[in-house]
Amino acid sequence: MMAGAPLWPQQASQHARSVDLLIASFGAMVWLLTIPVFVLMAWFAIRYRRGRTVNREHSPQSNVWIEASWSLIPFVLTLFFYVWATKLFLDIQSPPPEAVPVNVIAKQWMWKFEHQSGAREINELHVPAGRPIRLVMTSQDVIHSLYVPALRIKQDVVPGRYTSLWFTADRPGRYPLRCAEFCGTDHSVMGGALIVMRPSDFSAWLAQHQDGGADATLAARGERLFRKVGCSGCHAARSAVHAPSLDDLYGKPVPLSDGTTRIADEQYLHDAIMLPNKEVAAGYRPIMPSYGNLLDASEVGALVAYMKDREGEDSE
Amino acid sequence: MSDAAIDTDAPDEAVVARSYLRAGHSLRSWLLTTDHKRIAILYLISITFFFMIGAGAAALIRLDLLTPQGDLLTNEGYNRAFSVHGIVMVWFFLIPSIPNVFGNFLIPLMIGARDMAFPRLNLLSWYIYMGSGLILLCVVFGGGVDTGWTFYTPLSSVYANGAVVAAIVAVFVSGFSSILTGLNFIVTIHKLRAPGMTWGRLPLFIWSHYATSVIFVLATPVLAITLLLVAAERLLGIGVFDPDLGGDPLLFQHLFWFYSHPAVYIMILPALGVVSELITAAAHKRIFGYWFVAYASIAIAVIGFFVWGHHMFVSGQSLYASAIFSLLSIAVAVPSAIKVYNWTATLYKGDIAIDAPLLFALSFIGLFVAGGLTGLMLAMLAIDVHVHDTYFVVAHFHYIMVGGSVTAFFGALHFWWPKITGRLYSEPLARIAAVIILVGFNVTFFPLFLMGYEGMPRRYHIYPPEFQLLQVIASGGAALLAVGYAMPLFYLGWSLVRGRRAPANPWGATGLEWTTSSPPPKHNFTRQPVVERGPYAYPLAHPASRDDG
Amino acid sequence: MAEHATEPFHAVERQREANRFGMLIFLSSEFLLFGGIFAAAMALRLENPDGYRAAASHLRLGLGTANTAILLTSSLFAALAVEAVRGARPRRTALWLGGAALLGAGFLGIKGAEYAMEYREGLMPGTATAHFSGPAEQIFMNLYFAGTGLHALHVTIGIAVLLVAAALAHKGGERHAMLVGNAALYWHLVDIVWIFLYPTLYLAGVG
């Protein structure tokens, strides 16, 4: 039985409705500009057909005013949509500060989602309706792309760096989530669902899906790793090695040895762990070993979550 | 345009005997020819062959997509099918199609020259193309490549199986054929125009090919070096694009699209030039706004170099870059729109003959406009985020490449067939073919716009079952389209054996190529043409028609 | 002694212009071939300036500078060869061309010596003994070998063309003059590419 696709794709957020309005309006304008052209073409082909006696005198050769008008007027009209579309685009690139982060790791051929609370999911992502969610994403191998058609959003997930996406889903439901960048053999089955739940249902779900134990949250996992792989050996206050303090580091500016300053975001922290000599903090020697071979993307995500948590504590 | 220079309206025995087709019958005289007209025919045969390979891959794809589970091919097999389809169609069919067949045949004729500036280089271009084609055939029949025609890293450089390096070598070598062709065209147009053939008297076909050649020469080398670096990364493990070694996968995308966006203008500019010729000839009237159309070709080529980032809006590139690329992508649509409006105005008060070439030209305009406007939609950032990497994009570029370029190719084939072969084809069959192609094309590709907006990603072997109805419709359309494309093979082939002999100017068109016999003599003109009138100087003093001779 | 134009040209002056124009177009496409390497180097340098500078400092600045001087001088010789051929002095033409080719060979010799030293130091990617201090160094060396290797290939081709032009100098005539002009143009391109490679690769390691 071939069930058809719905007449219009589901809209699970305000952004989705805005995008639909944009393309519908732009489509309407485009039709308004195009239909007259097609009509004229067909009419001329018929009216001026060879053999018909009709007035062909004084056919115009060129007219700068007409050329200028039909070049500039559609262009200016389109610019209006350009401004609208660019504004919408910048909106989805600017998450509100209260957005809840979820780590996403893509690999051939599955999606791993890690909530701050410690809940981990494969291929399915549960989120509460009405709350802004920020996805912090990286890939373990090739470029993938996270796409939720019902939200009208998509972002490439790139190895070696973090990209992010944010949304507020406002309609509970189950929506397809697909990989949208060709990534090899099983690209077409690398997908799952975004499950939007009413906030009360989501809290219940979250409680049910804790990892259990003292290392429930992502940050707690990160703290355990911090000790286990030896970060605390150099980065504790009492350490003999001269290493930068990690207190209250996330989101703050870091002066680098080449004179520039970087904000310590997820990307910076990731690079500092995996490629430590890429950007060396000012006043320190480039002696930190790389953890590129020891840690995977999920563990780095946990360490970053831990560092976001650290405020003023520097004891073991 | 002096149409009194040569009087060949009535084909006489002496002229026919000297035709370029009869100047030597051995295989050697064809394979070692330096005659631009024979080289054009060599290209015609080769690109038709590669078109069939690419179409075969398309057939596999459309058959496989009849069911959501994809019962015909494996996942891996499907991935190889669409990769081969893209590589063959882009580099071995579309890019050489109009320039190397019609550009080669017509440029010297249209400007009143005896041949290209570098005839032997022209033959070398064909051999380079054939060599690269041979390598590609080894790839296709040796199991294929599965990276998509876009070779994104690190998939292509580190993770993919398949003959990636061989495919890269094939594309790399084919690039040199393009560069030499572009070089030849530019020098020929500058240095071999007949006396009186000023820039302002050149047919618009020449302007389009000039703009295309600039892109050939400047963009293709960037592709060459990019692919070379990917091959080196794959063979030697160097890490320019490999993030595990601190390289940058986005760098590949920037370098790749810096070539590949101008490349799509290589594929459409010649078609736009063809359509200008078809419209003016059918309307028997000078183009409206000649200089606007001429400079529009140059504008498309220039602006086209600065829009590549619109393929990367969701790649992780800087937001400011995205905003700028979006604006420039809207700007590049303006010169194309100018052409469409000017063609419409040309039809006004024309003396219009509705033959197959005009039907192809009108189809082109309809389909090209649809493709171009959906391109504008893709240039809008918030829209692109939703439909990037979906069937919406696939539909967009097939409307331009197939609905546009391939339709124009068929229009050119019909229009200049009498000149190239000296034979007339069956008009009724050609009109039927044109309509079948138009209908078949829309049935195949329009559903893809709908599926794309619904969220159907591209390059998917297994797809969600709710899309099956539209997929089946698309595959049905593809079957109809195949019939439409196959028909000319038969009636054009038939005309070679049994077609009526063509007079010098069956369409009553202006242009130096119509002042010489059909087919032309080996050196194009019996006397050096001298140009005294502007382009499209209708009405002709002696308007000939199909029924002459 | 003016020669006749060959098909499809009517006038030899027109053909000469066309040949020169064709050569210039070809050279511009060659220059864009290296464009990708320069773009990659710039991107890498922007992403990791410290690493890039550290890696560049391992190159032998003295040898690179010497090579720059050699290539500039050989370009001068090539220009002098063009003057000589215009003045119809075949012996002088051959000498200048030979001199340019000789300097080109010297360039290749120094380049080869650098490569050998880099191989011994474990800096040649793809070889068994390669070991890099970090990813920045590895990528830099990759670009260095890709860029200078491609350039060396062009130098070799250029030397061959110069030698052929030198060997045919005794023939004289229009066609030979065109060959010398094109050979010199090609050699100038090779020089110009090096003038961009040198600061991109060698001077980046200074300071």
Over range B507-536, report the average pLDDT: 91
A273 shares a domain with A177: no
More confident residue, B184 or A312: B184
Which H or E element spans position A156? strand A153-157
Residue C44: the pLDDT is 84
Mean of pLDDT over chain B: 92
Cα gap A124→A111, rounded to integer Å: 8
Q: In this complex, do A37 and B344 lie within 8 Å of one another by their Cβ atoms? A: yes
- Three-state SS for C156? helix
Residue C1: the pLDDT is 40
- Report which DSSP code applies to C3: P
Tell me how close the Cα of C30 comes to any Cα of chain B, in angstroms.
Answer: 7
A223 shares a domain with A194: no
A252 shares a domain with A156: no
* Core vs surface per residue C107-138: b (16+ CB within 10 A) or e: bbebbeebbeebeeeebbbeeeebebebbbbb
A111 shares a domain with A192: yes
* Core vs surface per residue B267-289: b (16+ CB within 10 A) or e: bbbbbbbbbbbbbbbbbbbbbbb
Task: Point out the residues of chain C with pLDDT beneath 70.
Answer: 1-3, 207
In a domain, A151, yes or no: yes
In a domain, A1, yes or no: no
Q: Are strands A253-255 and A124-128 parallel, antiparallel or unpaired?
A: unpaired
- Is the pLDDT confidence value at B16 over 50? no
A115 shares a domain with A200: yes
In a domain, A152, yes or no: yes
Name the residue with tokens 């000297």.
B18
Q: Which amino acid is at B254?
A: H
In percent, the amount of chain A with pLDDT more than 70 equals 95
Final residue belonging to a domain, choices A208, A230, A258 = A208
Q: In this complex, do A61 and B288 lie within 8 Å of one another by their Cβ atoms? A: yes
In percent, the amount of chain B with pLDDT more than 90 equals 83
- Is the pLDDT confidence value at B12 over 70? no
Is C127 an 8 Å CB contact of chain B? no
Q: In this complex, do B350 and A150 lie within 8 Å of one another by their Cβ atoms? A: no
Residue C167: the pLDDT is 92
Cα gap B141→B80, rounded to integer Å: 11
Give the chain C residue nearest A289 (alpha carbons): C134
| Number of domain units in chain A | 2
φ, ψ at A127 (rounded to 5°) = -140, 155
3-state secondary structure C72-93: HHHHHHHHHHHHHHHCCCHHHH
Which of B221, B222, B210, B249 lies closest to B233, judged by CA?
A: B249
Taking CA B428 as the corner, what is the angle to CA B424 and CA B431, rounded to the nearest 5 degrees? 100
Enter the tokens of residue B281: 């000839």
A270 shares a domain with A246: yes
Each as own residue / partner, the long-range contacts of residues A271-280 (CB below 8 Å, 24 or more positions apart, any chain) are: A273/A300, A273/A303, A274/A300, A275/B246, A275/C134, A275/C135, A277/C50, A277/C51, A277/C134, A277/C136, A278/B246, A278/C47, A278/C48, A278/C50, A278/C51, A278/C135, A278/C136, A279/C48, A279/C50, A280/A256, A280/C50
Instruction: Kindly report, residue by residue over A141-182, the tens digit of the pLDDT.
Output: 999 999 999 999 999 999 988 999 999 999 999 999 999 999
Cα gap B211→C102, rounded to integer Å: 41
Q: In this complex, do A89 and B353 lie within 8 Å of one another by their Cβ atoms? A: no
Residue A294: the pLDDT is 82
Enter the tokens of residue A5: 């696709």
Cα gap C84→C89, rounded to integer Å: 5
Instruction: Kindly report, residue by residue over C118-135, the tens digit of the pLDDT.
Output: 988 888 877 777 777 777
- Which chain A residues are closer than 8 Å to B147 by Cβ? 182
Give the chain C residue nearest B121 (alpha carbons): C22
- Which chain A residues are closer than 8 Å to C134 by Cβ? 275, 277, 290
CATH of C12-205, one of 3.90.1150.10, 2.60.40.10, 1.20.120.80, 3.40.50.300: 1.20.120.80
Q: For position A201, which CATH number holds?
A: 2.60.40.420
- Three-state SS for A191? strand
Q: What's the pLDDT band for B233 if we cut at 50, 70, 90?
A: confident
Residue A215: the pLDDT is 56
Over range A54-82, report the average pLDDT: 90
Instruction: Kindly report, residue by residue over B327-384, the tens digit of the pLDDT.
Output: 999 999 999 999 999 999 999 999 999 999 999 999 999 999 999 999 999 999 999 9
Q: How many CB pairs under 8 A join A and C?
A: 20
In percent, the amount of chain A with pLDDT more than 90 equals 50
Q: Which domains does chain B have, with CATH numbers?
A: 33-346 (1.20.210.10), 353-502 (no CATH)
Residue A288: the pLDDT is 83
Final residue belonging to a domain, choices A180, A208, A236 = A208
Residue A171: the pLDDT is 93
CA dihedral (B379, B381, B385, B388) in degrees, to 10, reads: 10
Q: What's the pLDDT band for B545 if we cut at 50, 70, 90?
A: low
Residue A212: the pLDDT is 54
In a domain, A299, yes or no: yes
- Is the pLDDT confidence value at B156 over 50? yes
Give the chain A residue nearest B335 (alpha carbons): A71
Residue A271: the pLDDT is 84
In a domain, A9, yes or no: no
Cα gap B19→B35, rounded to integer Å: 12
- Is the pLDDT confidence value at B10 over 80? no
Is C32 an 8 Å CB contact of chain B? yes
Final residue belonging to a domain, choices A208, A234, A263 = A208
Residue B542: the pLDDT is 62
Which of B409, A138, A160 lies closest to C139, judged by CA?
A: A160
Among A49-53, B96-100, B192-196, C136-140, where is mean pLDDT lowest? C136-140
Residue A52: the pLDDT is 85
A223 shares a domain with A183: no
Mean of pLDDT over chain A: 87
Give the chain C residue nearest A257 (alpha carbons): C50
Q: What is the CA radius of gyration of chain C?
A: 20
Over range A186-195, report the average pLDDT: 93
Q: What are A127's strand-pairing partners? A: A196
Over range B28-50, report the average pLDDT: 95
A140 shares a domain with A168: yes
More confident residue, B122 or C9: B122
Enter the tokens of residue A39: 């009509």
A237 shares a domain with A165: no
- Is the pLDDT confidence value at A314 over 80? no
Alpha-carbon separation of residue B50 from B63, B97, B366, C125 (angstroms): 20, 10, 27, 38
In a domain, A33, yes or no: no
More confident residue, A279 or A11: A11
A134 shares a domain with A198: yes
In what order do the strands lie in the sheet containing A120-122? A120-122, A110-115, A100-107, A132-139, A163-168
Instruction: Kindly report, residue by residue over B446-475, the tens digit of the pLDDT.
Output: 999 999 999 999 999 999 999 999 999 999
A151 shares a domain with A111: yes
A203 shares a domain with A104: yes
Tell me how close the Cα of A204 comes to any Cα of chain B, in angstroms.
Answer: 30
Q: Could you tell me where the beta strands, DSSP code E, fall in B39-141?
A: none
Evaluate whether C136 touches C52 at the Cβ level (below 8 Å).
yes
Q: What is the ipTM of this complex?
A: 0.88
Range of the domain at A282: 218-309
